[in-house]
Structure 1
Amino acid sequence: MEPDKKPTIDEHTQLKHEPTDTPGHPRVVLKPRQAKRRPLVAAGLIALAAGAGFGGAAVQDIVSGGASGVTILSSSAQDGNTVVTPDEESISAVAKAVSPSVVSVLTSTSQTSRFFDEQYEQQGAGTGMIVSSDGYIMTNKHVIDGADSVTVVLTDGKRYEDVEVLGSDPLNDVAFLRIKDVTGLPAITFGDSKTLRIGQSVVAIGNALGQYQNSVTSGIISGTGRPVIASSDGTTTGEAESLTDLIQTDAAINSGNSGGPLLNLKGQVIGINTAIAADAQSIGFAIPIGATKGLLAHVIKTGKVERAYLGVQYISITSAVKEEYDLAVSRGDYITSERGSSVQAGGPADKAGIKDKDIIVAVNGSNVGEVASVSSLISEYEPGDTVDLTVLRDGKEIKLTAKLGTYQD
């Protein structure tokens, strides 16, 4: 592959046809900043615009999980009117402890009316979370995409204008902001998104509808490892992106909640609230927090948003894929491509000895499977990191070591 060409990235290979028992990736709606128009003074006139729409779309041990989280009460309490269950006490404790680490992200974007050729200012509102005490914020890419200016509002009402947009993940719906010259902010605590259990309780916090700051909803994890095709309008005509390995939850995720935390009952963030199903209720999706850890550590260390990559294309093994390709195992990522080479020539995987039709079953001891694919596991690391790969080749298990490269967009 020529040096100036976009490298082959750790991505799912697109099958020419879907197996009959595989319904395909559902289309979902990204829940972007809740947006509204504000008139601008132009050429001596006030350009009025009515209606509302969706707009555009010191480090604290963030990788290892930080503090132990919220202390959970184990006994029921009765106030004379209402019996509060332990789970309810936990949700209340999580909301109280974590809310100071959740911020509102306000955006402003200049637009031109299609009908009157007049300028107006479109304002938006989303959610973010404080990930370091010195002002780094993580949110969704579609919350700040195209914005001319970004403002962050803390839970105590303090506003920070003209927040710096550091950049966004080229392959995922994640962006990073920075409030300049601050210290002592309450950073959120990270959990482990690889050990989630179906049915476990979760809490979502966000700037619902762009009006109700730090709204709290709760639910359960309904599924993991979900692939979706996401767009801002939920149709085939909208600009879409493919998102994989998402957490599915029935906790309500509303417009304006994008970029907010999905939390376990220890008050640890396990996901970034991102999207809801376009034609169903109680189906929301969050990006697993593990998929952001490498980027986050790197941006705090260097100030640059740079993603690690391995340089392979693959299909995640399901029962249908196992049958179609006559594979001997039921989990892992099968290295193959119908669009040319499945291994980037001269890339990290090639240098490590990965070959077409290999099956990667573990990265640094973490299993590749329903919860996390190769791409998600690699994204926990920074460019230049070395990872051990467990690979099946011709029925035999081999160990390979790869030095991760830097993705070039």
Structure 2
Amino acid sequence: MNQQPQMTAQDQRAARAMRQSKIMSIIAAGALALVFVVAMAMWVYLRTIDRNATVTERDQVSTDGNLAPTADESAVANVADKASKSVVSIITNIEESSSLRTTTRQSAAAGTGIIVSKDGYIVTNKHVVSKASSIRVIASDGTRYDDVRVVGEDPLNDIAYLKLEVGNTVLTPLSLGDSATVRVGQSVVAIGNALGRYQNTVTSGIISGKGRPVTASTSGNSTQRTESLTDLIQTDAAVNSGNSGGPLLNRSGQVIGINVAVATNAQGISFAIPVNAMKGTLKSVLAGKGVRRAYLGARYVMLTPDVAKQVGASAKEGAYVMTSGDKSAIVAGSPADKAGLREKDVITKINSLVVGKQGDVSSLIGEYQPGDVVALTILRDGKERVVRVTLSEYQSGESGE
């Protein structure tokens, strides 16, 4: 009779461990299957709940005032919509040497520009780009232009012209209005790159005054430049440093001024260059002739009742031709000299525009180009006469207007 081999205690323990392992594997598999079944059931349940749940509605106001703008709000919004695509942000890099000229510092500045032609001409303030080592222009749609050329600067005004290389892109220029007919109290809209951070910021206000003189200053790390500007439009529309070079618009969306300065010691006082003052140089730029400024060659002071009393003029407004320090009233050989203007003449009109009410001599002459003929209405010895003047081109170093 064969005998079965006896299992040692060690073999018995191994067999028992194997049986326990198989049992644990079966239990674990069952647990995983149970978890999967429960998870699937919960997923199906939650999807069913989501489909059948009631959506919480947002509170609705009975009348939404945002969707019922007033006529005034609509007017400002329409101007902004129409003009914003023609306003650009200008970012410049500036390199400045220290007082010892041993080191050079780089800084960035920002301003605003106005598209004035379909092929990429931009007008801005001279002080925005005059010290720039590089210029970048950003359009309202985010398009960036790095190939930017300074065409030139107006020698007698804070105006500069840029040219973008736009390829086949056709830009939308802003329409230019007539600054000679603006009125105090007239509503205006300003658009610009406020503080150099908030592109195409829109503000509105009124024209608070006309014919304002301002001494504007721009400063860098090592230099400061001041410039005397005259015949500016004053507005209470909020204008900040980055708005320089941006448009001041009438309610028809036409440019009537180029924002240039803000009073730092007062609130609600900003200034813009009358758009007519740049029309002559703009024509020469668009014609490919560069910046050519029309020149008369007479020194004058704008008359007020007080000034008229001081100089003994019979007229109460206009431009009184007079010497300035040791400089003669009429520049020798100038258009004014050739036309026979004299000291103590009062220029009351340039063509049909009234000097004083519709601009000073500088702004009104700025509307024309070298070679244009203008009719000056003057008062001399109490008698009115008209003289025709052929304007010349301003040359660097010349004085007078």
Task: Give the TM interval when normalised to the shorter protein.
Answer: 0.7 to 0.9
Amino acid aligned to 1:314? Y
How much does 1:371 deviate? 3.8
Amino acid aligned to 2:267? Q
Q: Does 1:207 align with 2:207?
A: no
Q: Which among 94, 106, 111 is matched to residue 91 of structure 2? A: 106
Amino acid aligned to 2:376? L
How much does 1:340 deviate? 2.7
Q: Which among 286, 304, 308 is matched to residue 290 of structure 2? A: 304
How much does 1:87 deviate? 1.2
Q: State how far apart, in whole Å, the 1-side matches of 2:128 and 2:63 are.
A: 41
TM alignment of 1:202-281, pairs within 5 A: 202-232=188-218, 238-281=224-267
How much does 1:264 deviate? 0.5
Amino acid aligned to 1:158? T
Q: Which has the higher contact order (CA 8 A, sep 6+)?
A: 1
Q: Which among 53, 65, 89 is matched to residue 81 of structure 1? A: 65
Distance 1:110 1:390, change over 3 A: same
Q: Which among 149, 167, 180 is matched to residue 165 of structure 2? A: 180
Please state whether the residue corresponding to 1:232 is helix, strand or coil.
strand
Q: Which among 325, 335, 338 is matched to residue 351 of structure 1? A: 338
Q: Which runs of 5+ in 2 are unaligned?
A: 1-61, 397-401
Amino acid aligned to 1:373? D
How much does 1:346 deviate? 1.2
Distance 1:336 1:95, change over 3 A: same
Amino acid aligned to 1:311? G
The structure having more radius of gyration, on CA atoms, is 2
Q: Once the two structures are superposed, what CA deviation does each residue of 1:199-220 show, in whole Å capped at 9, x if it has no partner?
A: 1111000001111110001111
Amino acid aligned to 1:274? V
**Does the aligned pair in 2 maintain the 1:166–1:303 contact within 8 Å?**
no
More helix per residue: 2
Q: Does 1:293 align with 2:297?
A: no
Amino acid aligned to 1:346? G
Distance 1:365 1:80, change over 3 A: same
**Does the aligned pair in 1 maintain the 2:320–2:345 contact within 8 Å?**
yes
**Does the aligned pair in 1 maintain the 2:147–2:165 contact within 8 Å?**
no
**Does the aligned pair in 1 maintain the 2:148–2:163 contact within 8 Å?**
yes
Q: State how far apart, in whole Å, the 2-side matches of 1:98 and 1:306 are.
A: 27
How much does 1:84 deviate? 2.2
Q: Once the two structures are superposed, what CA deviation does each residue of 1:126-185 show, in whole Å capped at 9, x if it has no partner?
A: 100000101100000000011111111110111111300011111110000001254410
Q: Does 1:389 align with 2:373?
A: no
Distance 1:356 1:161, change over 3 A: same
Counterpart residue number, 1:62: none
Counterpart residue number, 1:360: 347
**Does the aligned pair in 2 maintain the 1:390–1:399 contact within 8 Å?**
yes
Q: Provide the TM-score with structure 2 as the length reference.
A: 0.79
How much does 1:239 deviate? 2.4
Distance 1:116 1:94, change over 3 A: same
**Does the aligned pair in 2 maintain the 1:245–1:371 contact within 8 Å?**
no
**Does the aligned pair in 2 maintain the 1:149–1:162 contact within 8 Å?**
no
TM alignment of 1:6-155, pairs within 5 A: 80-82=64-66, 83-112=68-97, 118-155=103-140
Q: Which among 331, 339, 363 is matched to residue 317 of structure 2? A: 331
Q: Does 1:376 align with 2:363?
A: yes
Q: State how far apart, in whole Å, the 2-side matches of 1:232 and 1:79 are.
A: 49
Q: Which runs of 5+ in 1 are unaligned?
A: 1-77
Q: Percent identity?
A: 53
Larger deviation, residues 114-123 vs 294-303? 114-123
Amino acid aligned to 1:307? R
